[in-house]
């Protein structure tokens, strides 16, 4: 759990960094063998591409850089539980271990309470992929990152 907290705090720092660049406050990273091998921030505003969520950027860059075996062995950490688009991308990338700070439920409650969603856990269950999904971790700190959203 202590190691989870260390990586989650790094994700929150990436989220705040994204926000300070005018992007949406989300950050993610990939850990293999206890080491961070890739980090990513949301770049929606900078890239003028509403799909460039932190997790999408992370898995695209990771899939370019590492083997399928490495991705399968890795853990994806993220400041907020992945949306349906990113969950699809994570699944396609063959990553099935996810640790998040803010739950999607808490995120939706904060920004758009009227929205419905499908959790990443349910999506992985429906796709019959044996996933390990852990969270929320340090959710109060994670939610604090949203104060930097411009």
Catalytic residue IDs: 55
From the CB of 84, what's the least distance to a copy of itself, in Å? Answer: 4
Q: Which is nearer to a copy of itself, 37 or 84 (CB)?
A: 84
Q: Which is nearer to a copy of itself, 7 or 104 (CB)?
A: 104
Query: Which residues in this chain contact a copy of itself in the complex, by CB under 8 A?
Result: 48-51, 56, 59-60, 63-64, 83-89, 91-93, 115-118, 123, 126-128
Q: Bridge-partner residues for 132, per DSSP? A: 97
Give φ, ψ of 6 to 5 degrees.
-60, -45
Residue ranges of E strands in the chain: 27-32, 35-41, 75-80, 97-102, 132-134
Q: Which is nearer to a copy of itself, 1 or 114 (CB)?
A: 114
From the CB of 52, what's the least distance to a copy of itself, in Å? Answer: 9
Give φ, ψ of 36 to 5 degrees.
-75, 120
Pick the closest to residue 139 from 54, 98, 78, 58 (CA basis).
Answer: 78
From the CB of 89, what's the least distance to a copy of itself, in Å? Answer: 5
Pick the closest to residue 122 from 136, 133, 113 (CA basis).
Answer: 133
């Amino acid at each position: 759990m202590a190691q989870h907290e260390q990586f989650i705090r790094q994700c929150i720092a990436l989220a705040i960094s994204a926000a300070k660049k005018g992007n949406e406050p989300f950050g993610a990273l990939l850990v293999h063998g206890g080491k961070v091998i890739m980090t990513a921030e949301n770049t929606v505003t900078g890239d003028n591409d509403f799909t460039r969520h932190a997790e999408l950027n992370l898995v695209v860059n990771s899939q370019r850089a590492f083997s399928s075996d490495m991705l399968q062995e890795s853990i994806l950490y993220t400041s907020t539980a992945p949306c349906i688009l990113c969950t699809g991308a994570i699944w396609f990338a063959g990553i099935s271990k996810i640790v998040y700070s803010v739950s999607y439920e808490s995120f939706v409650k904060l920004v758009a309470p009227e929205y419905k969603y499908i959790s990443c856990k349910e999506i992985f269950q429906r796709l019959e992929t044996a996933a390990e999904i852990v969270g929320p971790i340090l959710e109060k700190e994670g939610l604090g990152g949203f104060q930097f959203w411009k």
